[in-house]
Amino acid sequence: MFISNAYAAATPGTDIMSFAPMLIIFVLFYFMLIRPQMKQAKETKAIIAALAIGDEVATTGGVIGKITKVSDNFISIEISANTVVTVQKHAVQTLLPPGTLKSA
């Protein structure tokens, strides 16, 4: 006979060492991706909740201006003299330091 038989390898036991690589990958994934993203979302939520009249903000669309009116879901932003736009609160991306608009 020219061809030898090929047998399947023995199955490893279900001990902890077989799950260790998957567990290590999950722990790394949690600490490098999930946890920082949750922290950033929490900070953004706190910023949006603390918006007040007179704050200078930048929206996700790139519009910067000073808040003139705050309601439950919307804010009004003055982007230039006598030009006010209304945007949703969650469109605010960044709270700018006071005085940023005067230097721009």
- Domain enclosing residue 96, as ranges: 52-104
Task: Report the 3 state secondary structure along 60-81.
Answer: CCCCEEEEEEECCCEEEEEEEC
Whether residue 26 lies inside any domain: the answer is: yes
> Is the domain of 38 the same as that of 66?
no
Q: Which of 50, 70, 94 is the last residue of a domain?
A: 50
**What's the pLDDT score for residue 6?**
79
> Is the domain of 36 the same as that of 62?
no
> Could you give the CA distance from residue 34 to residue 40 in angstroms, rounded to a whole number?
10
Domain count across the chain: 2
> Is the domain of 69 the same as that of 21?
no
> Is the domain of 22 the same as that of 64?
no
**What's the pLDDT score for residue 89?**
94
Low-confidence ranges of the chain (pLDDT < 50): none
